[in-house]
Structure 1
Amino acid sequence: MKNYQILAIALLALSSCGVRSGSQTADQADSSKSLTDTAATPKILVAEMTMKDTIKAGDSVLLKFTVKNNKADTARFCKWHTPFEPLMSKYLDIKDENGKEVNYKGAMAKRIMPPPADSYIILKANDSLSVNADLLKAYAIDKPAKYTVTYNSTGISGLTVKKSVSFVYIK
C-alpha cells in the first residue's frame, strides 16, 4: 500500500511540472502584443530570392535575399540559416540541370535552442530588408551548367521562400 502512495505522489508531482503559470510580467505581455514571432505564424513575412540569369566563371555568384513584412504589425524572424548571418549553415540546396547537388563547403554552426533574443531581426510593418550573399564562398560551383537554388530552412528561420531561382554558369 505504501508503494502505491509513493507512486501516486510521484505521478502528481511529475504531472504538475508541465503546468505553466498564467502570470506574465508587464514587459512580457507588451512584447507579445507588439511583436509577432514568425516561427509560430510564418505567413506574416514573405521572403524571395533573386539573382542574375547568367554568371561568368570568375564573377561572384550573388544571391539577393529579401524579406518583406506586408502586414500592419511588427514581426521578427530568426537570422539563423539565412543570408543575414555569415554562411554558417547549409540553408540552400543548389542542384545542376541533371539534379546533382552542389557540395556545400562552408561552416556548420552548432546552435543552442531556443535561439537567444539577439538571433532575431525585427521588421517593422510594411517594411523590407535585403542582403546579398556570394554563394561561391560556401558552395562548390565550378562547372558550366544551369543551376537551381532552393531555400531549405523554413523550420529554423520561420521564413518561407515559395520560388526557387535559376542561373546559368558559363566559362
Structure 2
Amino acid sequence: MGQQETPRSLTCSLSVAPRFKVGEPVMLRFQLTNPTARPLFVLDWHTPFEGLLNNFLQVTRDGVDIPYQGPMLKRGDPTAEDYVSIAPGASADATVEASLAYDFTQPGHYRIAFRNELLDVATKQAELPHTRDGFRAMPVQCPAVETTIVTP
C-alpha cells in the first residue's frame, strides 16, 4: 500500500449514565481506540474532542428527534493542532455536556448517537494538516447509548 493509505478502522464508543434528573447536566463520554500498529491522527472537528461546536450527535426523546441548539462553525483549513494523536493500541476520549446543545428538559427515554463519520484521519504526522480538499473521511461505527430523564 502507498503513502496515501487510509487506515481501515477506529473503534468508537459512547457512554452516558443510565438516568438523570430533569435539570442535571447530561455528560456524554466519547472514546476512539486505535487497533492498528501505527499512530493515527484524527481531525477533532465535528467530534467531542473539540467540544459541542457542531451538530455531530443525533438525539431523540421517545423516538422524536431533538434539534441541535449549539453553535455551527464555518472554517478554513485546519492546523496541525486540530488533530488528536492516538498511539497504536491506545485510546483518546473526551466528555461533553450534551445538555448544553440539546434539550434534555423533558422526562423521557433518550437515545444519543454519533453521526458516524470522522472528517479526516491520517497515518503520517508529517503530512498534517491536510487541506479541506485533501481530507480522508472515515466512517466509524459508534453504537448509540440510552438514558432516561426523570422528574426530581
Normalised by the shorter chain, which TM-score bucket?
0.7 to 0.9
Equivalents in 2 of 1:159, 1:128: separation in Å? 17
Matched, 1:163 2:143: yes
The 1:159/1:64 distance shift into structure 2, 3 A limit, reads farther
Corresponding residue SS for 1:168: strand
RCO comparison, higher one (Cα < 8 Å, 6+): 2
Matched, 1:133 2:96: yes
Greater percentage in helix: 1
Deviation at 1:162? 3.1
Deviation at 1:131? 1.4
Runs of 4+ in 1 over 4 A off after TM superposition: none
Letter in 1 for 2:61: D
Deviation at 1:52? 0.8
Matched, 1:41 2:4: no
What are the Cα deviations for residues 59-96 of structure 1, in whole angstroms up to 9, with x where unaligned? 21010111111221111111001111121100001011
Which residue, out of 60, 63, 71, partners 2:28? 63
Q: Which residue of 2 aligns with 1:7?
A: none
Give the TM-score taking structure 2 as reference length.
Answer: 0.78
Matched, 1:146 2:112: no
Over the aligned positions, Cα root-mean-square deviation in angstroms equals 2.1
The 1:155/1:75 distance shift into structure 2, 3 A limit, reads closer
Give the TM-score taking structure 1 as reference length.
Answer: 0.70
Unmatched tracts of structure 2, length 5 or more = 121-137
Matched, 1:108 2:72: yes
| Bigger Rg, structure 1 or 2 | 1
Q: Which residue of 2 aligns with 1:74?
A: 39
Greater percentage in strand: 2
Unmatched tracts of structure 1, length 5 or more = 1-31
Query: Sequence identity, in percent?
Result: 23
CA contact (8 A) 2:58 2:113 kept: yes
Q: Which residue of 1 aligns with 2:132?
A: none
